[in-house]
Chains A and B, each alone.
Chain A
Amino acid sequence: MFQRAGHLTRVMAAVWRISLAEAIAYRVSMLMWVLTTTFPLVSLSLWSGLAASGPIGDYARPDFVAYFVAAFLVRQFTASWVVWELSAQIRSGDLNTLLMRPMSPMLYHAIQNLAALPIRCALALPIGVLVLTLTGGLGWPSPGSLLALGLSLTLAWLLNLGVHVTIGCVAFWVTESTALFEVWLGLYLVLSGAAVPTSLYPAGLAEVIRALPFHASLGFPVELAIGRATGAAVTHGLLLQALWVAVFGALATVLWRRGVRAYEGVGA
Chain B
Amino acid sequence: MFYLRLVRAQLEMSTLTALQYRLGFWTEGLLGLLWSVIGIAPLFVAVEHLGAVEGWGRWELVVLTGCFTVLSGTFTALLQPALRASMTHILKGTLDYVLLRPADGLVLCLTCAFQPWHLVEVVGGLALVIAGLWLGEVEVTAAGLAAGLATGVAGVVALYAFGVLVLCASFQALQLQALTHVMEALMDFGRWPAQVFPPLLRVLFTFVVPLLVMTSYPAEALLGRLSWGTVAQLAAVSATLLVVARLAWVRSVRGYTSASS
List residues of chain A with CB under 8 Å of any chain B CB.
26, 28-29, 32-33, 35-36, 39, 42, 45-47, 49-50, 56-57, 179, 182-183, 186-187, 189-190, 195-196, 200-202
Contact = CB atoms under 8 A, between A and B. Distances in A.
B173 to A, nearest CB: 5
Interface string B48-62: 111001100000000
Contact of B198 (A35, A45, A57, A189): A45
A36 B181 contact: yes
A39 B185 contact: yes
B178 A56 contact: no
B176 A49 contact: no
Given A49-B196, A56-B50, A190 B173 contact: no
A56 B34 CA distance: 27
Contacts, number: 77
Interface residues of B, number: 33
A50 B178 contact: no
16 contacts: A29-B173, A32-B178, A32-B182, A36-B178, A36-B181, A42-B201, A45-B198, A46-B189, A46-B192, A56-B46, A182-B35, A186-B38, A195-B39, A195-B42, A200-B45, A201-B45
B179 interface: yes
Given A49-B197, A196-B42, A42 B189 contact: yes
B35 A35 contact: no
Which are the 6 A-B pairs with shortest beta-carbon distances? A186-B35, A196-B42, A32-B178, A29-B175, A195-B42, A28-B173
Given A47-B46, A196-B41, 4 more contacts: A29-B175, A179-B27, A179-B28, A179-B31
Nearest to B204: A42
B178 A33 contact: yes
A35 B169 CA distance: 16
A178 to B, nearest CB: 11
B39 A190 contact: yes
B188 interface: yes
B24 interface: yes
Contacts of B198: 45, 49
A190 B198 CA distance: 22
A32 B201 contact: no
Nearest to B181: A36
A114 B258 CA distance: 36
Contacts of B189: 39, 42, 46
A199 B53 CA distance: 19
Given A39-B188, A42-B201, A196-B42, A57 B196 contact: no
B182 A46 contact: no
Nearest to A50: B46
A46 B190 CA distance: 12
Nearest to A198: B45
B185 A46 contact: no
B175 A196 contact: no
B20 to A, nearest CB: 12
B175 A26 contact: yes
A201 B45 CA distance: 6
Residue among B24, B42, B197 having the largest count of chain A Cβ atoms under 10 Å: B42
Contact of B196 (A26, A28, A46, A187): A46
Contacts of A189: 39, 188
Contacts of B31: 179, 182-183, 186
A254 B39 CA distance: 33
Given A179-B24, A190-B38, A32 B49 contact: no
Contacts of B35: 182-183, 186
Contacts of B45: 196, 200-201
A35 B183 CA distance: 10
A259 B165 CA distance: 41
B33 to A, nearest CB: 11
Nearest to A59: B49
A189 B53 CA distance: 20
Interface in B1-60: 24, 27-28, 31, 34-35, 38-39, 41-42, 45-46, 48-50, 53-54
